[in-house]
Amino acid sequence: MSVPMRRGLACSIALLWLLSLVLPALRINDSDNPGYVYLLWGVLGLLLGYVEWLANPLVVAAVIVLWLDDTPRIIRRIMAISLTFLVMLSLSRHGLPTDEGGMPRMIEGRLVGYGAWLGSILLAGLGLFPWRAQNR
């Protein structure tokens, strides 16, 4: 992949991810919260076993890796596989904890911010995966 194409992909991923922070992401308890709420409070979900939040730092790392392109292929593969796993896990989740008790509430709807978040992860995973062998 050429340098301008790689950097354009990195910019597209960053734009989608930032867009997902300001758009409504999920409908829980009849309220539509923007993505930054889940970014800020989602880290607490790690304590309860909700590991999908880890896709956010991986997306930021993917943007840096795609911009610089001095990362070994094995690291890129591990990042791509991890992002794929976290997306599948996120899509299979039906509830999230919304209070201090840790009891999950049903996700009533996945909104446009959630789609932008998934799109950024999908682009990052596809961009990181080595599609053809490169001579080095």
Model pLDDT, residue 96: 81
pLDDT tens-digit map of 48-70 = 888 988 999 999 999 999 998 77
What pTM did the predictor assign?
0.85
Q: Is 10 helix (H, G, I), strand (E, B) or coil?
A: helix
Q: Is 105 helix (H, G, I), strand (E, B) or coil?
A: strand
